[in-house]
Structure 1
Amino acid sequence: MRYLTLIIPVVFCGFAVMDCGFFFRAATTLSCAVILGLISDRTLRPLIWWIIAALIVSSVADWFMAYSSRSRNYFIYGVCLFFVAHLGYILFSLKNGHLNRWLLTALLAVYLCFFFFMLYPGITGAVMFSAVLAYLVVSCISLAAAIGIRLKASTRWGFAFGIFLLVFSDTIIALGGFAGYGGLDYLVLPTYFASQIVITFALINKKNIL
C-alpha cells in the first residue's frame, strides 16, 4: 500500500511536465518529502531527514531555475541551492556506506573534460564559472557516494539510479545553457522529477538494512 502513495507525486509530475505552473513542480518535490517523512523505514528515519532537507532545498532551487530568465543571478542562486541539496544526498549516502573512489575518479575525468572542452567556452563571469564547476564536482561525488551505499540491493540501486537521473537532467541543462545544444531539453523536467520519485520509491521499502 505504501507504494500507492507515489501516485501523488506522479500525478503532480505529469502536470509539471506539461508546464501547468510552478505549483505542480513544487508539489511533486514536496509530496516526495512528505511521503518520506511519514512512511519511510524506521531504521533509516533519523537519516531520512537529510533527504527531506535536500528535497525542500531543491524545491526552492527549482523556483530560481524556473524564473532564471528574469535574472542571470537566479540561475546562479539555483545552482548554489542545488549544490546544498546534493550535500544532503551525500551525507545520507556516506552515513550508510562509503565513497566509491574508483567511480568518482572516472566521473571526474569525464565531467571535467566535459566542463572545460564543452561548457567553458559558453560560460561568462568568474561567479558563474565557479558555481557551475563546483556543482559539477559535487554531482560526481553524490553519484559515487550513492553507488557506495551499503543497504539492501533494491534500495541501493534505486537510490543510485535516482541520483543518476538527477545528474543526467543537469547534464542536459548544461548542454543547452552553455554548449548551445538544446535538442534534449524536453527531457530535463521528466528526468529531474523522476529522480525524486525514484529516490522516494527506494527509501520507503519496509526493510532497507541488509
Structure 2
Amino acid sequence: MWLKKNGLYVLLGVSVILAILGVSTANFIFKSGTAGMGILIILILYAQFKKSAKDTWMILGAFLFSIIGDWFLSNMNGDSLMFVKGIALFFLAHVGYLLYALFNGRIKGMFTVILLAAYLVFFFLVLYPTFTDVPLMIASLVYLLISCFSLGAAMGMEGDRTAKGSFILGIVLIIFSDTIIAFKEFVDYHMFDFLITPTYYLAHIFITFSLIKRFESKVPATK
C-alpha cells in the first residue's frame, strides 16, 4: 500500500520537485507546492494516528496560512496594505509552529531572550529608521517577536532528535528567509534576494520531514 512509510517519502520527493519549479517559475501552484504537499502528508499521518497526531493540525494551519500569506506578498505590487495582510497571515503561521512546539516541549528561556535581544537590536537600529508607515512598522515588530518565540519553543522540544532537529532547521530557514525579505523591502539591499524562495520552500520540506520522522517508527514498513 503506497500510503505506508515509503509512500510518505515519495510525497516528500514530490515536494522537492515542486520547490524547484516554484523557484524557477512564477506559477503560484508551484510556489504553494511545498506547503500544499505538507498539508497532504499531515492529513495522511492524521488518518493513521488520530489520537497521537492531533497537534499536527497546528502545522496544517500554519502551512495553509503560509499559502494565503504568500499569495498576498506575491500580488502586493508595492501596496503596503497587502504586505501587512501577508505579514498577519505569516504571523498566524508562526502561531501554529509555536503551539505545535509547545505541545511537544517548552520554550527555551535563555535562548529566546538572547535571540529576542539580537533581533530587537536589528529591528531598531536597521529597520526602524526606514519606516514611514506606522501600521507596517507595528506589524513587522509583532511578526519579529512571534518568530523569535517560535524558534525558542522549537529549541525546547522533546522527542525524536532527528524530528526536533529538522523542525528547528525549518523554523531557522523561515526566519532567515524573512530577514532577507526585510533587507529587500525596507533597506533596499538585494544581494541575497535569490535565497528568499529556496530557503522558504526548504523550511516547509524540513518541517514536513520532521513530522514524518516523528511518526516513522509507528508506520508499517512496506513489504
How far apart are 1:4 and its partner, in Å? 2.1
Q: Distance in 2 between matches of 1:30 and 1:76?
A: 23
Q: Distance in 2 between matches of 1:70 and 1:20?
A: 17
Q: Distance in 2 between matches of 1:163 and 1:135?
A: 13
**2:41 aligned partner:** 35
Question: Is there any run of 5+ residues in structure 1 with no aligned partner, and where?
Answer: none
Residues 105-138 of structure 1, C-alpha deviations (whole Å, 9 max, x = no match) = 1111110010011111112221011000000000
Residues 155-181 of structure 1, C-alpha deviations (whole Å, 9 max, x = no match) = 111101100000100000001111221
Q: Distance in 1 between matches of 2:73 and 2:169?
A: 23
Percent identity over the alignment is: 36
**2:101 aligned partner:** 93
Number of positions where the alignment pairs a residue of Structure 1 with one of Structure 2:
208
Give the TM-score, by structure 1 length.
0.95
**2:203 aligned partner:** 195
How far apart are 1:31 and its partner, in Å? 1.3
Q: Which letter does structure 1 place at the counterpart of 2:163? A: T
The 5 A counterparts of 1:104-115 are: 104-115=112-123
Kindly indicate whether residue 170 of structure 2 is the aligned counterpart of residue 162 of structure 1.
yes
Q: Confirm or deny: 8 A CA contact 2:65 2:89 kept in the other structure.
A: yes
Question: Is there any run of 5+ residues in structure 2 with no aligned partner, and where?
Answer: 1-5, 219-223
How far apart are 1:27 and its partner, in Å? 2.4
**1:128 aligned partner:** 136
Q: Which letter does structure 2 place at the counterpart of 1:90? A: L
Q: Confirm or deny: 8 A CA contact 1:121 1:178 kept in the other structure.
A: no
User: Aligned Cα RMSD in Å?
Assistant: 1.4
Kindly indicate whether residue 34 of structure 2 is the aligned counterpart of residue 17 of structure 1.
no
Q: Confirm or deny: 8 A CA contact 2:55 2:100 kept in the other structure.
A: yes
How far apart are 1:19 and its partner, in Å? 2.5
Q: Which letter does structure 2 place at the counterpart of 1:68? A: M
**1:79 aligned partner:** 87
Give the TM-score, by structure 2 length.
0.89
Local SS of the residue matching 1:68: coil
**1:58 aligned partner:** 66
Kindly indicate whether residue 134 of structure 2 is the aligned counterpart of residue 153 of structure 1.
no
Q: Distance in 2 between matches of 1:32 and 1:103?
A: 28
How far apart are 1:39 and its partner, in Å? 3.1
